[in-house]
Amino acid sequence: MSTETNAPSPPDTDWDKAHDSAEFKELRARLRRFVFPVSALFLLWYLLYVLLADYAHGFMSTKLVGNITVGLVFGLLQFVSTFVITGLYVRYANKKLDPIAEKIRTDIESEAK
């Protein structure tokens, strides 16, 4: 049984040229301008939560309403911050990253023809 297909092979693309292009460098710079600061802020926020949970038992066990404590609110806010970061990234990518990525893709496809 043969596993050959009659599908055309992908065209040769000069990936080094694409990687060295000004558009790709701009895309990478824009991505890093978002990812690094947001990652650092989130890690600091998470570290604050862990440190408070470990060293500030009295504060974290302070009841706010019924059995809802400061620690529980901080823990839930970790999830909220993850969703907020995801939304911010999607909006940023749609406005700042996707147009450049689309241009790079179009350039590569047009050169391959």
41 occurs within a structural domain: yes
Distance of CA 14 to the CA centre of its chain: 27
For range 27-44, the mean pLDDT: 97
Q: How much is the pTM?
A: 0.77
17 occurs within a structural domain: no
Q: Are 52 and 62 in contact (CB under 8 A)?
A: no
- Per-residue pLDDT at 5: 60
Terminal C-alpha separation, the chain = 33
99 has a pLDDT exceeding 60: yes
Query: What is the percent of the chain where pLDDT is above 90?
Result: 73
Work out how many domains the chain is built from and give that number: 1
- Tell me the two tokens of residue 109: 């496809």
Condensed to tens digits (0 to 9), the pLDDT of residues 62-81 reads: 999 999 999 999 999 999 99
Neighbours of 100 (CB within 10 A): 18
Residue ranges making up the domain that contains 43: 23-112
65 occurs within a structural domain: yes
63 occurs within a structural domain: yes
Q: Are 108 and 13 in contact (CB under 8 A)?
A: yes
Rg (CA), the chain: 23
